[in-house]
Homo-oligomer: A and B are copies of this chain.
Amino acid sequence: MGESSDPTNLQELARHLGISVTTVSRVLSGQARRFRISKQTEERIQTAAAQFGVRPDPIGASLRLGRTRTIGLIVPDVANPFFAAFAQGIERRFRKEGYAVLLCDSAEDADVEAELLRVMLSRKAEGLIIAPVGQKLGAVSALVETTVPVVLMDRIFPDLPFPMVATDNIAAAKEAVHHLTGRGHRRIACLRGLEGSFPDGERFKGFQAALKEAGIPLTDCPMAGGDYTAATAAKATRDIFQNAKPKNRPTAIIPFGGQITLGLLESLHALNLSVPEAVSVVAFDEQPWSSLVSPPLTTVAQPVEEMARLAASRLLEVLAGKVHARENRLEVLKAKIVSRESVRTIS
């Protein structure tokens, strides 16, 4: 009789088989060989475990080992295709390695980010991949005091002792400008991203440098914006084009982000300014729709998939103990200009 129900954990499975928990644990965590468990015992345990669907409870293991097999990923906006693609790459890779990922959206808000960091630390995430909200060294720099492996991406802080993955934004912006100057443009505006954020700063540096090289006075090149939203970009676009006399009007513009491009196109449409006849556009961040708007957009494409791969690898290396966690190592990737039809040649 003694009707005992199915075993649900190692404890019960052990009792069920008349074996010690230790042995069961060893077998189910793949350590059978190391402890020279007899083939027969191993077999019995494996079979029974499969039969009852018993797996070691990760929470118990976490408590014991201090390892959660969980990593945290924080991006400022999952709905942005750039970050969505990045998140997808990260999640895929870590799942393959047996990690789960806690994904959080900081909504471009430093306070949210700080809270998120606290949450992830208290949940004992074993590693963190972060695209910081940008601007001044925020909550992220406090991570230096901890020992969690951290990898920064995109919005990086180059002075922090973390592995970082970013695009060479200076070069990318320069190329964008060259693409335009090479086609006769001399008045080139830019629509800036979040003030103080790394990509914005770098892109702007590249933008300025390229203009200088081309001998174009900065005063001919209006700039506006201040964050990565479409709304701000739409307003900035109006500011630039509405009040300018046609003669002073820029003939080309470089929006510093995907959402920014959306805002730009919207305003341009409202102002009845056609692309590329009235204004040429070289847009930052290749998007799924880049080739489908009218006209198809010439873009600066960042290698997102590769960024995800690299960021994941860096973190995995640290987790594997191959690399020290507090190493200022900046991985810089090249962006590519995808040439389409939003740039006209001025003769």
Contacts and interface: CB of A to CB of B under 8 A. Distances in A.
Contact of A78 (B63, B84, B119, B124): B84
Contacts of A63: 59-60, 63
When all copies of this chain in the complex are counted, the total is 2
Contacts of A124: 57-59
Nearest to A297: B292
A212 interface: no
B123 A58 contact: yes
A100 B60 CA distance: 19
A101 interface: yes
Given A289-B287, A291-B266, A293-B293, A68 B79 contact: no
Given A60-B63, A288-B262, A292-B262, A85 B79 contact: yes
A87 B84 CA distance: 10
A294 B291 contact: no
B105 A91 contact: yes
Interface string A51-78: 0000101111011000010000000011
A272 interface: no
A21 B269 CA distance: 65
A43 to B, nearest CB: 22
Nearest to A107: B92
A102 interface: yes
A262 B78 CA distance: 20
Given A58-B122, A79-B84, A101 B102 contact: yes
A210 interface: no
A288 B62 CA distance: 41
A55 B101 contact: no
Interface in A253-275: 259, 262, 265-266, 269
A104 interface: yes
A88 interface: yes
A102 B102 contact: yes
B81 A79 contact: yes
A144 interface: no
A104 B91 contact: yes
A75 to B, nearest CB: 10
Interface string A114-127: 00100100111000
A211 to B, nearest CB: 28
A103 interface: yes
30 contacts: A57-B124, A58-B122, A59-B124, A60-B63, A63-B63, A77-B88, A78-B88, A78-B91, A79-B85, A79-B288, A84-B84, A91-B104, A91-B105, A92-B105, A92-B107, A95-B116, A95-B119, A101-B102, A103-B103, A262-B288, A265-B292, A266-B291, A266-B292, A269-B292, A287-B289, A288-B289, A289-B289, A292-B293, A294-B294, A294-B295
Given A59-B68, A78-B88, A289-B293, 19 more contacts: A58-B122, A59-B123, A60-B63, A63-B63, A77-B88, A78-B84, A79-B84, A79-B88, A84-B84, A87-B103, A91-B105, A100-B123, A101-B104, A262-B289, A262-B292, A287-B289, A289-B292, A293-B294, A294-B295
